[in-house]
Chains A and B, each alone.
Chain A
Amino acid sequence: MTPFNRRIAVAGLALLAAAGLSGCVAGIGYDGGVRATYLGGYYEPYGYDYGGWQNGYRVGPPRGGEHRPDQASTHAYRSAPHLHSVPSLPRRTRGH
């Protein structure tokens, strides 16, 4: 191989290596694995009812400011102090 041909071969190899490396970098996923497709979309089991609420079954947000009766109760969670009134939704609107 002449020096000229050797230089051409080395340049070609360098180009191929650069292309290959860039491909590898682009192909590596965000977790270090292969490129991630989307892992979303959870179907729930079929055959259940989502209605049937009785009178008084209330799930909405409070208006805010309500105080709760100060009664001793035991829960699995730590209840907020009874001195604290129940919070509500944000009042601030966009552009204000």
Chain B
Amino acid sequence: MIKHTRGRALRAGLAFAGLLCLSTFLAAAQPAPLMLPPLADPASSEHHAGKAIWLELVTPDLAVAERFYGSLFGWSFHALHNGDFEYAVAWLRDRPVAGLLQRELKSGERRQSAWLTFMAVRDVDAAAAVALAHGARIITEARTYPARGRHAVFADPEGAVFAVLASQTGDPPDYLAEPGEWIWSSLQVPDAGADAAFYQALFGYDVYDLPSDDGLEHVILSSDDYARASVNALPVDAVHRHPHWLNFLRVTDAGDAAERAVAAGGRVLVEPHADRHGGRIAVIADPAGAPLGVMEWNSSESKEEPK
């Protein structure tokens, strides 16, 4: 009787161990989680809600994108391999500036390559609750990534897609962007006032309405007493316009950047022109069509009035 009981216990133990071994095998077969670099290294205790702290491109051809952005902005790339896709982190000297994700499109599928803007929050799940309560819809559920933090992707009430990110190492400090770094974000939507109210509820922005020359609504979103982004009504004659975030990289010469973009396989969507800050901006598209802005910023006090 005792022998029989011991035998049964031994068989049960072996079965248990077998199941554990199987789970080990299955776990090992899963693709490794993407190891994105920390946003602040060394870790920072700073938090800047509503600041754009990461940008990520989705593109069908990573090699083409690397050539384009590397030649225009001096970025270098570090590949992160994952079973499902190719991902590269773009670096400017010792700082990560962007992520480039290659995701193939199905045959015959037509989608627009684009940059996704990640805004800083302290708590992604709390932000998600606020966003959904104020009319956003979720695009990608919240997930946590080692070293990076937790993020989720939403469409705002006007339809523009953005992400929120709670950085595990705090937010990068507020410095003036150097050439080759992101300097500004602009949102273009049908109803700028309504969307400004949404982002104010989400990030606690101060909102500054600005006088405009074109009769359209333009506002500035601010936090920590720094301008973080503008919200702009889409142009009135917009027929095929789409609500979207547009991010700007700092350049020393917007005209030269636009010319080099064309030479590298891109297009100019908005010709270089002076903006309200006195410097010139332009909007270009990379070879896959992803739109982005380039912006001059003169650190000196002198201000050239827009013409």
Is B136 an interface position by the 8 A CB rule?
no
Q: Is the interface of B mostly helix, strand, loop or mixed?
A: mixed
Provide the B250-275 mask, 1 if CB < 8 A to any CB of A, else 0: 00000000000000000001100001
Question: What are 23 residue pairs bridging A and B, where the CB atoms are less than 8 Å apart in the complex?
Answer: A16-B17, A19-B21, A21-B20, A23-B25, A30-B145, A35-B30, A36-B33, A49-B269, A51-B283, A53-B270, A54-B237, A59-B186, A61-B227, A62-B276, A63-B278, A80-B207, A80-B222, A87-B220, A88-B277, A89-B177, A90-B175, A92-B176, A93-B175
Cβ contact within 8 Å between A50 and B291: yes
Q: A42-B153, A51-B283 are in contact. Are A60 and B230 (CB under 8 A)?
A: yes
Cβ contact within 8 Å between B10 and A9: yes
Chain A residues with CB under 8 Å of B184's CB are 60-61, 89
8 A Cβ contacts from A29-80 to B: 29-31, 34-64, 68-69, 73, 75-80
Cβ contact within 8 Å between A20 and B232: no
Pick from A36, A41, A58: contact of B212, CB below 8 A.
A58
Cβ contact within 8 Å between A20 and B23: yes
Chain B, interface size category, equals 35 or more
Chain A residues with CB under 8 Å of B244's CB are 44, 50
Is B49 an interface position by the 8 A CB rule?
no
* Complexed CA–CA distance, A9 and B222 (Å): 67
Cβ contact within 8 Å between A52 and B237: yes
* Binding-face segment, B37-45, B71-79, B82-90: B82-90
CB distance from B232 to the nearest CB of A (A): 5
Give A contacts to B, CB under 8 Å: 1, 9, 13, 16-17, 19-24, 26-27, 29-31, 34-64, 68-69, 73, 75-80, 84, 86-94
Q: A40-B140, A50-B283, A78-B207 are in contact. Are A16 and B213 (CB under 8 A)?
A: no
8 A Cβ contacts from B1-44 to A: 6, 10, 13-14, 16-21, 23-28, 30-34
Cβ contact within 8 Å between B227 and A87: yes
Cβ contact within 8 Å between A76 and B144: no
Cβ contact within 8 Å between B275 and A42: no
Cβ contact within 8 Å between B20 and A17: yes
Provide the B212-256 mask, 1 if CB < 8 A to any CB of A, else 0: 111010111010011100101001011111101010100000000
Closest to A94 in B: B175
* Complexed CA–CA distance, A29 and B105 (Å): 27
Give B contacts to A, CB under 8 Å: 6, 10, 13-14, 16-21, 23-28, 30-34, 56, 58, 82-85, 87, 99, 101, 103, 105, 110-114, 116, 139-146, 153, 161, 174-178, 183-184, 186, 188, 193-194, 196-197, 200, 206-214, 216, 218-220, 222, 225-227, 230, 232, 235, 237-242, 244, 246, 248, 269-270, 275-279, 281, 283, 285, 291, 293, 295, 297, 299, 303, 306
The 5 closest A-B pairs by CB, nearest first: A20-B20, A27-B27, A23-B24, A56-B213, A60-B275
Pick from A23, A29, A90: contact of B176, CB below 8 A.
A90
CB distance from A13 to the nearest CB of B (A): 5
* Complexed CA–CA distance, A56 and B287 (Å): 28
CB distance from B156 to the nearest CB of A (A): 13
Closest to B239 in A: A49
Pick from B103, B210, B226: contact of A43, CB below 8 A.
B103
Closest to B16 in A: A17
CB distance from A91 to the nearest CB of B (A): 6
Cβ contact within 8 Å between A35 and B143: no
Cβ contact within 8 Å between A48 and B112: yes
